[in-house]
């Protein structure tokens, strides 16, 4: 029988790749979308006739119950979040409502409507926060450094708690940063590749950035959505770290991207304190050994190739803008 999946956050980077992935696996795909006065479906417009979008909001418990009753999914992927870390200092309450309590609303709706539904929670390496050990694995203690990270720690533990309290098949994927041409323009990776493409085309003359010393473990989003799916296909629910195991600084990302275009980064990059965070996550590098052993998952795209993929896509976008 054809499986059904519900994705919250389907209009986001990961939601769009996951929807494509599940369609390719033969799933019937439902997506929760919130009502807005303008449409923001650019990441899923190419598959819109193959998926079913249902109006609702992770802030509204009634709408979650409704979408579960309507879609009758076998699997629910909770990707909805206020996911931009700096915004979590300017909107801490909203971030908590969406990114933390939103998880409880959805888990509770699942518990009420159909406890057999398999549930995936989008947890994050931001939960590790302040460096306590490297590489970080499933047993590394959490020490979040932003209201976003704190909210995600809540989302992680409420997922574990519903699994242990009610026997739900609920998994938490602790995903390290993953990027793609569909990454939002405010995130540093895409901000840089987009700026390089625009500088090359003569559309931009400077790039303002914050802390270049922070180190991240950057992977490729399409690889990571496969891991989400694999987690829900096991005999027992569990939590997994998903990462490449390599760490690079923001500085290295900047230099590599500018070098790929034959540009001298120092001519364009300006450090702007506006982009420096009240508290920083200095060093992330993940150990995805458990996912490799138990899920058979491995990343396929690494640092330099990832930057190349994103730069090429931004060049194409800029070119289409100009002509």
Task: Show the DSSP H helices in 72-219 as ranges.
Answer: 87-90, 92-95, 102-113, 147-166, 188-200
- Taking CB under 6 A as the rule, does residue 83 contact ligand NDP? yes
Residues 6+ away with beta carbon under 8 Å from 267: none
Q: Which of residues 153-192 bind ligand GDR (CB under 6 A)?
A: 176-177, 186-189, 191
Quick one: which H or E segment has residue 53? strand 52-55
- Taking CB under 6 A as the rule, does residue 83 contact ligand GDR? yes
- Taking contact as CB under 6 A, which single stretch among the options 77-85, 159-167, 226-234, 287-295 is the one that binds ligand NDP? 77-85
- Taking CB under 6 A as the rule, does residue 58 contact ligand NDP? yes
- Least distance to ligand GDR, CB of residue 240, Å: 15
Residue 22's nearest CA partner among 57, 47, 59 is 47
- Taking CB under 6 A as the rule, does residue 125 contact ligand GDR? yes
What are the C-alpha distances in Å from 261 to residues 127, 201, 204, 312? 35, 11, 14, 10
- Least distance to ligand GDR, CB of residue 160, Å: 18
- Least distance to ligand NDP, CB of residue 32, Å: 6
Q: Is 148 a catalytic residue?
A: yes
Per partner kind, with CB cut-offs from 5 to 8 A, the member of ligand NDP, ligand GDR, none near residue 140 is none
Q: Are strands 215-216 and 248-249 parallel, antiparallel or unpaired?
A: antiparallel
Q: Which of residues 110-129 bind ligand NDP (CB under 6 A)?
A: 122, 124
Q: Count CA within 13 A, CB hemisphere, residue 52.
A: 14
Q: Exactly one of 45, 275, 319, 321 binds ligand GDR (CB under 6 A); which one? A: 275
Q: Are strands 118-124 and 169-175 parallel, antiparallel or unpaired?
A: parallel
- Taking CB under 6 A as the rule, does residue 79 contact ligand NDP? yes
Residue 83 or 194 having the CB closest to ligand NDP: 83
- Least distance to ligand GDR, CB of residue 236, Å: 25
**Residue written as token pair 């996911």:** 83
Residue 74's nearest CA partner among 104, 15, 34, 29 is 29
Phi, psi of 124 (to 5 degrees): -150, 155
Residue 122 or 269 having the CB closest to ligand NDP: 122
- Least distance to ligand GDR, CB of residue 65, Å: 26
Q: Which of residues 166-185 bind ligand NDP (CB under 6 A)?
A: 175, 177-178, 184
What are the C-alpha distances in Å from 15 to residues 67, 71, 157? 17, 17, 22
Residue 308: Cβ-neighbour burial (10 angstroms; 0-12, 13-18, 19+): middle
Question: Which residues are designated catalytic?
Answer: 124, 126, 148
Interface residues with ligand GDR (CB under 6 A) are 83, 85, 124-126, 176-177, 186-189, 191, 209-211, 214, 216, 250, 275, 277, 280
């Amino acid at each position: 029988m054809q499986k059904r999946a519900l994705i919250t956050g389907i209009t986001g980077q990961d939601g769009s790749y996951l929807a494509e992935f599940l369609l390719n696996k033969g799933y019937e795909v439902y997506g929760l979308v919130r009502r807005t006065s303008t449409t923001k479906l650019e990441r899923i417009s190419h598959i819109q006739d193959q998926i079913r979008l249902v109006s609702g909001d992770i802030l509204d418990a009634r709408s979650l119950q409704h979408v579960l009753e309507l879609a009758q999914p076998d699997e629910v992927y909770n990707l909805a979040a206020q996911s931009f870390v700096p915004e979590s200092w300017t909107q801490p309450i909203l971030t908590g409502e969406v990114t933390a309590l939103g998880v409880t609303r959805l888990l509770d709706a699942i518990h009420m409507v159909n406890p057999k539904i398999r549930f995936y929670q989008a947890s994050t390496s931001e939960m590790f926060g302040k460096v306590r050990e490297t590489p970080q694995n499933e047993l590394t203690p959490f020490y979040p450094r932003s209201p976003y990270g704190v909210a995600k720690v809540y989302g992680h533990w409420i997922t574990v708690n519903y699994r242990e309290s009610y026997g739900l098949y609920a998994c938490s994927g602790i995903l390290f940063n993953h990027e793609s041409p569909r990454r939002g323009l405010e995130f540093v990776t895409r901000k840089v590749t987009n700026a390089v493409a625009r500088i090359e085309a003569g559309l931009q003359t400077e790039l303002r950035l914050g802390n270049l010393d922070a180190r991240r473990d950057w992977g490729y989003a399409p690889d990571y959505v496969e891991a989400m799916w694999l987690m829900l296909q096991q005999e027992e629910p569990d939590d997994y770290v998903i990462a490449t195991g390599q760490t690079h600084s923001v500085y290295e990302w900047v230099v590599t991207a500018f070098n790929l275009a034959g540009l001298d980064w120092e001519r364009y990059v300006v450090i702007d304190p506006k982009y420096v965070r009240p508290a920083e996550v200095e060093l992330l590098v993940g150990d995805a050994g458990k996912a490799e052993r138990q899920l058979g998952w491995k990343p396929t795209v690494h640092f330099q190739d990832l930057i190349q993929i994103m730069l090429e896509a931004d060049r194409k976008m800029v070119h289409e803008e100009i002509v």
